[in-house]
Amino acid sequence: MHVSFRAPPALVEAAMKESGVTSPSELGILALAALAQPDPVAEFMRKNRGRLGKGHKLDY
């Protein structure tokens, strides 16, 4: 599949520098792979919703 999009050059350069990839194609694959992974924090929160216990108090 071919995917094409526009992005600010500074954003692409910064992302490539941070990730260490050497081409925009590699950067796109890395970004898609990162987005395709499930979020472990969200899964933990779903599994533990409502389980703080009766005596637990949230301090703001």
CA distance 45 to 51: 10
- pLDDT given for residue 13 in this prediction: 97
Q: Provide the pLDDT for residue 15.
A: 97
pLDDT of residue 53: 77
What was the pLDDT predicted at 54? 77
Task: State residue 50's pLDDT score.
Answer: 80
Torsion sign across C-alpha atoms 16, 21, 23, 28: negative
Question: Which residue ranges in the chain fall short of pLDDT 70?
Answer: none
Which two three-digit tokens encode residue 53?
Answer: 């216990």
